[in-house]
């Protein structure tokens, strides 16, 4: 029972080691990923995972919660301070359950809601039809303009016409400042609740590197991973503006989370959220977030200098979207697979007005949070941008077959071919060399 995992479960241990190797020797550029601190890992791998604590602090269903209460209250106090909000619930299991709780708190089934269309950069839980939020509610999506910016004129027109109960501002693939103030003006005009989903940018908001939604939105949701740099989890916050609109809003949110949608909170996650929030309050975190944006801009510049087309021509946050349409449609999958072969991880993504489909989109999305955590700066971004462009040039002539049934075999053959590509192998070697200079967990064995 008390034995080390390396002895009790060599199979899982071997996988842990391989995953650490992979993370160590690759450039993690999926913008929603990051590397947490040793302290966050320690809180997550702690005895708090043994506890059941349905309910809220001082109002639990089970005994033995005196220390869970303290750690949850600590996380709540820190969240309120960091995000400048009146109320925080730190129990949501992740970002999607946090958003579901918002619906549960302020909507009835079939109520009208508005969010950015998923292929335009919105999130599934903002009313996309594949998500239950698009099936249980009357979802009216808004869009980005051809130039990649939110189409606020369309938002206003649709809001006036459909009078939504709830509007979402907050995105998954959007490289410019989120328009909290302008969305609030529209939401206030039609009497809608405005929920800001800052999952991607919460670290930037906490450190003041991105404008805060706190004065504008009624509700703010976030994941606690991504730029937050904590464990996988979620937080729902109610602003003073939210309480002014509806004094019962904080209660409604708490009731929606428990008992509305969840049972016992993940106390080990709560402890790790508290730790991550303390890290966010340190001056180093602001420097970190400023560097994320500097790196993102340097990366966009390097990509454009190498002939790549960057959506909106740059970035205000941690993310860069590259359109591959100048090479043809649906090229995202080839770029993603070839970059993976070079140990550069990112994801295929739709771009504004994508001529292909969300499953085979025409762009790639990349971000700088993880590389910045490792200590990389503008100089490295310039190199990485060139490597990415070089890999993309190797795949530009591959075409998706028109017949959907042929796509599987074609991609299989493509992957075999790309494995032998000399240029890509060369870039992989350079990537590994760079990664060795920026160790993930210097001087600390995370498997112990
Ligand atoms: C990541 C994300 C979520 C969902 O988070 P999960 O933890 O994956 O459920 C919700 N909204 C936005 C905008 C996101 O980027």
Domain range list for the chain:
43-280, 294-437
- What are the pLDDT tens digits along the chain (448 aa)? 668 899 999 999 999 999 999 999 999 999 999 999 999 999 999 999 999 999 999 999 999 999 999 999 999 999 999 999 999 999 999 999 999 999 999 999 999 999 999 999 999 999 999 999 999 999 999 999 999 999 999 999 999 999 999 999 999 999 999 999 999 999 999 999 999 999 999 999 999 999 999 999 999 999 999 999 999 999 999 999 999 999 999 999 999 999 999 999 999 999 999 999 999 999 999 999 999 999 999 999 999 999 999 999 999 999 999 999 999 999 999 999 999 999 999 999 999 999 998 889 999 999 999 999 999 999 999 999 999 999 999 999 999 998 889 999 999 999 999 999 999 999 999 999 999 999 998 776 776 6
CB 249 within 8 A of CB 110: no
Query: Domain 294-437 is in which class?
Result: alpha beta
Spatial neighbors of 95 by CB under 8 A, at least 6 apart, are: 123, 125, 197, 199, 221, 222, 223, 234
CA of 170 to the centre of ligand 1 (A): 10
Catalytic: 133? no
CATH number listed for the domain at residues 43-280 = 3.40.640.10
Cα–Cα distances in Å, from 72 out to 76, 77, 89, 104?
6, 9, 9, 23
Q: Which of 223, 234, 262 to mutate to test the pocket of ligand 1 (most atoms within 8 A of CB)?
A: 223
For strands 363-367 and 347-349, give the pairing: antiparallel
- 52 carries an active-site annotation: yes
Residues lining ligand 1, judged by CB closer than 6 Å? Answer: 32, 94-96, 99, 123, 125, 170-172, 197, 199-200, 223
**Average pLDDT score over the chain:** 96
Ligand 1: centre distance to CA 327 (Å): 30
CA of 49 to the centre of ligand 1 (A): 23
Nearest CA to ligand 1 atom 15: 172
Catalytic residue check, 226: yes
State the Cα–Cα distance between residues 13 and 6, nearest whole angstrom: 5
Helix, strand, or coil here: 116? Answer: strand
232 is catalytic: yes
pLDDT tens digit sequence for 308-321: 999 999 999 999 99
d(CA 203, CA 337): 29
Instruction: Read off the tokens for 338.
Output: 């070839």
> What does the chain come to in residues?
448
| Residue 444: count of CB within 10 angstroms of its CB | 12
Question: Is the sign of the CA dihedral 208, 209, 215, 221 positive or negative?
Answer: negative
Two structure tokens written together for 102: 């918002």
Specify the residue with its C-alpha closest to ligand 1, atom 8.
Answer: 95
pLDDT, position 404? 86
Which ligand 1 atom is the nearest neighbour of the CA of 200?
15
Q: Which of 102, 123, 170, 236 to mutate to test the pocket of ligand 1 (most atoms within 8 A of CB)?
A: 123
Best mutation site among 93, 118, 125 for ligand 1 pocket (most ligand atoms within 8 Å of CB):
125
pLDDT reported for residue 443: 72
333 CB contacts (<8 Å, ≥6 apart)?
348, 360, 400, 411
Ligand 1 centroid, distance to 289 Cα (angstroms): 19
Give the closest residue (by CA) to ligand 1 atom 4.
95
Q: What atom of ligand 1 comes closest to residue 198's alpha carbon?
A: 13
| Tokens read off for 3 | 């034995």
- Which residue, chain included where needed, has tokens 């009216």? 140
Closest CA to 206 of 183, 184, 229: 229
Beta pairing partners, 168: 195
Atom of ligand 1 nearest to the CA of 172: 15
Q: What is the pLDDT of residues 160-215, one digit of tens each?
A: 999 999 999 999 999 999 999 999 999 999 999 999 999 999 999 999 999 999 99
The CA distance from 442 to 440, in Å, is: 6
């Amino acid at each position: 029972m008390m034995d080390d995992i390396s002895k009790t479960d060599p199979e899982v241990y071997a996988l842990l080691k391989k995953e650490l190797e992979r993370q160590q020797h690759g450039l993690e550029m999926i913008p929603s990923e990051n590397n947490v601190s040793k302290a966050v890992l320690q809180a997550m791998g702690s005895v708090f995972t043994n506890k059941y604590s349905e309910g809220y602090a001082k109002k639990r269903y089970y005994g033995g919660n005196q220390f869970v209460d303290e750690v949850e209250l600590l996380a709540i106090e820190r969240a309120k301070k960091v995000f400048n909000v009146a109320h925080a619930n730190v129990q949501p299991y992740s970002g999607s359950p946090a958003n579901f709780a918002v619906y549960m708190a302020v909507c009835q089934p079939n109520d009208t809601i508005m969010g950015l269309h998923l292929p335009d950069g919105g999130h599934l839980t903002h009313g996309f039809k594949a998500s239950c939020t698009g099936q249980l509610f009357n979802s009216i999506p808004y869009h980005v303009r051809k130039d990649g910016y939110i189409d606020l004129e369309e938002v206003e027109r649709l809001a006036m016409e459909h009078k939504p109960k709830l509007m979402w501002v907050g995105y998954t693939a959007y490289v410019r400042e989120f328009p909290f103030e302008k969305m609030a003006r529209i939401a206030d005009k039609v009497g809608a609740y405005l929920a800001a989903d800052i999952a991607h940018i919460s670290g930037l908001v906490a450190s003041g590197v991105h404008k805060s939604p706190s004065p504008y939105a009624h509700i703010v949701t976030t994941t606690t991973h991504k730029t937050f740099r904590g464990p996988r989890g979620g937080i729902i916050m109610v602003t003073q503006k939210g309480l002014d609109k509806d004094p019962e809003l904080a209660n409604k949110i708490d009731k929606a989370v428990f008992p509305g949608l969840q049972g016992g909170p993940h106390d080990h996650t709560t402890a790790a959220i508290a730790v991550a929030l303390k890290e966010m309050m340190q001056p180093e975190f602001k420097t970190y977030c400023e560097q994320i944006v500097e790196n993102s801009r340097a990366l966009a510049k390097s990509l454009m200098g190498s002939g790549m087309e960057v959506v909106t021509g740059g970035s205000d946050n941690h993310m860069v979207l590259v359109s591959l349409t100048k090479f043809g449609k649906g090229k995202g999958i080839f770029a993603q697979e070839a970059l993976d072969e070079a140990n550069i991880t990112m994801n295929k993504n739709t771009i504004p007005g994508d001529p292909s489909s969300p499953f085979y989109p025409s762009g790639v999305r990349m971000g700088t949070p993880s590389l910045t955590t490792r200590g990389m700066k503008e100089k490295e971004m310039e190199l990485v941008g060139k490597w990415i462009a070089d890999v993309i040039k190797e795949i530009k002539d591959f075409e998706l077959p028109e017949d959907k049934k042929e796509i599987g075999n074609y991609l299989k053959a493509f992957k075999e071919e790309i494995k032998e590509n000399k240029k890509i192998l060369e870039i992989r070697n350079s990537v590994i060399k760079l990664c060795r200079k920026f160790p993930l967990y210097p001087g600390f064995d995370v498997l112990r």
